[in-house]
Copies of this chain bind each other. A is one copy, B any other.
């Protein structure tokens, strides 16, 4: 579980570095599929991860509306700012928490989920959206960040 979060964070920052080589126009351009753009996707994975962890920890959530005027630096800063709450929770995770439940209101309706279910949902959510970035990157002729989990030094 922890390794998959570490993988996501490493890949996310690889994409942030990649974004520095891309024009702001391409980063903000409206695209088909997913949440509709490259920078918006990175913003989305940051705030969705944080939001779910807030549900599990009781931390107050933040506004998750993407502003078209946002810059890459602002998204990177947001990711760094929110990270301690997420990483504290993940690094202190124990298997005894797997079946604890949390009740959240998603689309106007209260739903109950297991903690273990939420964490895996968050993991899959980011990997899925990163897959979308990789297609968009190729569509304007750029090589995407590798999605390989091997060869990242995650296993010492």
Contacts and interface: CB of A to CB of B under 8 A. Distances in A.
Interface stretch (A15-23, A69-77, A82-90, A125-133): A125-133
Interface in A135-156: 135-139, 144, 147-151, 154-155
A137 to B, nearest CB: 7
- The number of chain A residues touching the other chain, given as a range, is 35 or more
Q: How many copies altogether?
A: 2
Nearest to A6: B120
A135 B4 contact: no
Contacts of A31: 135
Contact of A128 (B121, B125, B131): B131
A62 B124 CA distance: 28
